Amino acid sequence: MKSSLLKIIFICILVPCSSFAQEAEENIGEQIFKKKCAGCHGKDGNVQAYGISRKLTEIPSAEMGDRLKLFQSDKNLQNSGGVSAVMGKQVSVLDKQEFGGVLLYIQQNFAADK
């Protein structure tokens, strides 16, 4: 009985905390998107950055994650010049929480398969 009660209390504490953490991550993602991304991709993700990229609304969620991770980690892309270098510089300065927040925000709001 005591063990069951402790489990219920633990779940009641854990669930709201995880929801709060996800909400905080989403808010960080939205703030960063508006500050760093919307200028090129549009506030609704429906603009071709520099007139050549795909619209965020055309990119599936998983592919979006793969692309952002590549831009963040590939030093050759970051130093290549052009749009790849711009993207690389934008995401390479984000810490893990910021990166996760931006990715989550973009996937939930703009991905082709959202």
- Cα 38 from Cα 110, distance rounded (Å): 12
CATH number at residue 54: 1.10.760
User: In total, how many domains does the chain have?
Assistant: 1
Question: 25 in a domain, yes or no?
Answer: yes
Residues 6+ apart with CB under 8 A from 27: 101
Overall average pLDDT of the 85-99 stretch:
92
Banded pLDDT at 20 (limits 50, 70, 90): very low
In this predicted model, which residue has the larger pLDDT, 5 or 65? 65
Q: Could you report the per-residue pLDDT of 53-69, keeping only the tens digit for each?
A: 999 999 999 999 999 99
Question: 114 in a domain, yes or no?
Answer: no
